[in-house]
Amino acid sequence: MPIYRAPVEDTLFVLRDVLGYERYNNLPGFAETPEVLEAVLGESARLAETDMHPLNRTGDVEGCARHEDGSVTTPKGFKKAYRQYREGGWVGLAAPVEHGGQGLPYTLHNAVSEYMVSANMALMMYPGLTQGAIATIITHGSDEQKARWLPNMVDGSWTATMNLTEPHCGTDLGLLRTRATPVGDGSYRISGQKIFISAGEHDLAENIVHLVLARIEGAPKGVKGISLFIVPKFIPDAAGNPVRRNTVACGSLEDKMGIHGNATCVMNYDDAEGHLLGEVNGGLKAMFTMMNEARLGVGLQGLAVAEAAYQNAAAYARDRLQGRSLSGAKAPDKPADPIIVHPDIRRKLMTMKAFNEAGRALLLWTAMQSDIAHRSPDEPDRQAADDLLGLLTPVVKGVLTDKGFDHAVMAQQVFGGHGYIEEHGMSQYVRDARIAMIYEGANGIQALDLVGRKLPLNGGRAVQAFFREVGEFCDENRSDETMAPYTKALKKGLNDLQAATLWLMQNGPRKPDNAGAASTEYMHLFGLVALGYMWGRMVKAAQARLAAGRDDAAFSQNKLVTGRYFMERVMPETTAQLTRISSGADTMMALPAEAF
């Protein structure tokens, strides 16, 4: 049976010591939390560890079932756990108070969600998509729509879905065919088929609110002719009571590699009643509100699964006896030493630990930008935060999920053959982590978004600000001897990233394949520098704790060592990335398609 312990101390370190969470108490929602921060994290940790984690493996084994009437049941125990989550007010933790939420920081929502997703990713996908749908209705809905849909979504009695994908189109949404026909009373009839819809049908909530992309008859071709619709499973009356079944149904469940406890549905819309959300033909723009939110949520999944897998690998490595340490027996009274004595096992554990701790900081720093962008009274601060949020979103999604999967595999490797046996749960982590690289825009598309859209946006304002911030951090700490090993490596990584950016600016526009060929490596190079910057800040914060004589010296010392490992063993990869990027697209594109 796999184990899981929520890393509360680490989250508190990132929030308080690294990000200066308590300095933001001028922002709505932040002022309330300093004294309740530990209580909120502690309570969510308890829920995750005690109620959600035990259902992770059973949910994987049992999966979901579709019945003849089209209804879907979730694995045993999911209903109760979801009810606990809902009744605890976790769905609306960061939602605005006027819509029934608690108005607490989105940063805190992310901190809490990491624990829940580590404990049970499949279960958390039911309320997970509701978050993005709430944000989309708040941003694009009319007052009447907000009043009609939000309260039940915020309190979790209704969940939501995101319907983009069709059998013939996933990435290229310009091809989508689902039709919307105006009825004349302001509503529309929606017809078509959507596939791969997460949480499309289930038994956890009273109603399901589908946000559906469709093409109004006569709309322009391509992405400019797509609109967004609210299509509920049950049509509610004015008081919000679901009264009439809409003509939308789950046609079948996908039989898939992982996240078995989450129902991935084929959804058939057969003249279903729908309501336009946002502007006619403005659907993709509106859906981007949901997708950006969801992309951070998926990046979080990468981190969360990697953290759970790592914890199990560390525990196994302390326990499993095989071979003797190269430097002499460490457990001479036992038939062999625990495998944690072997450098190659340490390499794996340190790599995972170094990524997870920096990944947590990067995720929370990015979420903090969302809070500042939406809540700060200061316009320049809002804009700077919004720039950074846009820039970092594809990096968080792409890098944390690529690495999350790699590290789930790495953790599985620590188990040797036992990692391949379902009983230990490592196979499930690998299977569950894999999807996060694919959905919400496959990672190749995240890389293109970063290179093609986010870098040049507003004349490169966001990326220049990021370079300035990291560069200034290195300069400010250069003369500090204790920081030098960290800042030197970070500065080298930053130089490589700036050189790669310049190369892209010079070679991308004249030959777009160069930009496409460089994009994934560029995203990872960016990720290394962003994670390295997080390590720089974490090390500085750990040193401050040590200087202040805080009584948890071992915690801070471990940060210094883990940060050093990242700088020595992981950061040097930036040089190889730069070399690959600047080799251009020629060899990649040279062979004719028949040669493959």
| Residues recognised as catalytic | 440
- Binding of ligand FAD by 435 (CB under 6 A): yes
Closest contact distance (angstroms) between CB of 90 and ligand FAD is 20
- What pairs with residue 212 in β-bridges? 163, 229
Instruction: Single out the residue of 16, 79, 179, 256 in contact with ligand FAD (rule: CB under 6 A).
Output: 256
Minimum distance between the CB of residue 172 and ligand FAD, rounded to whole angstroms?
6
Stretch that binds ligand FAD, among 220-228, 275-283, 381-389, 431-439 (CB under 6 A): 431-439
Identify the residue among 159, 165, 393, 401 touching ligand FAD (CB under 6 A).
Answer: 165
DSSP code of 338?
Answer: B
CB of 448 to ligand FAD, least distance (A): 6
Options 60-68, 299-307, 320-328, 434-442: segment touching ligand FAD (CB under 6 A): 434-442
Structure tokens, 332: 């001479």
Least Å distance, CB 177 to ligand FAD, is 14
Provide the mask over 257-276, with x wherever binding to ligand FAD is found by CB under 6 A and - wherever it is not.
Answer: -------x------------
Backbone angles phi, psi at 127, to 5 degrees: -80, -20
Taking the C-alpha atoms of residue 290 and residue 126, their distance in angstroms, rounded to an integer, is 15
User: What six digits make up the tokens of 229?
Assistant: 């619709």
Give the one residue of 162, 248, 395, 463 binding ligand FAD; rule: CB under 6 A.
162
Q: Which residues contact 264 (CB under 8 A, 6 or more apart)?
A: 196, 197, 198, 200, 253, 254, 256
In this structure, are residues 313 and 355 in contact, taking their beta carbons and an 8 Å threshold? no
235 touching ligand FAD, by CB under 6 A: no
Backbone angles phi, psi at 240, to 5 degrees: 90, 10
**163 vs 207, beta carbon nearer ligand FAD:** 163
What is the DSSP secondary structure assignment for residue 164, as one 8-state letter? -
405/566 with CB nearer ligand FAD: 405
Give DSSP secondary structure letters for 408-422. HHHHHHHTGGGGGSG
Asked if residue 520 lies in contact with residue 447, where contact means CB atoms within 8 angstroms, the answer is yes
Nearest residue to 258 via CA among 59, 431, 56, 436: 431
Closest listed residue to residue 313, CA positions, set 432, 231, 418, 388: 418
The pairing of beta strand 65-66 with beta strand 72-73: antiparallel
CB of 231 to ligand FAD, least distance (A): 13
Query: Which of 438, 465, 546, 561 contacts ligand FAD by CB under 6 A?
Result: 438
Of the residues 196, 310, 355, 503, which one makes contact with ligand FAD according to CB under 6 A? 196
Nearer to ligand FAD, 236 or 297 (CB): 297
By CB under 6 A, residue 103 contacts ligand FAD:
no
Residue 251 touching ligand FAD (CB under 6 A) = no
Contacts with ligand FAD, residue ranges (CB under 6 A) = 161-165, 170-171, 196-198, 256, 264, 435, 438-439, 441-442, 444-445, 448
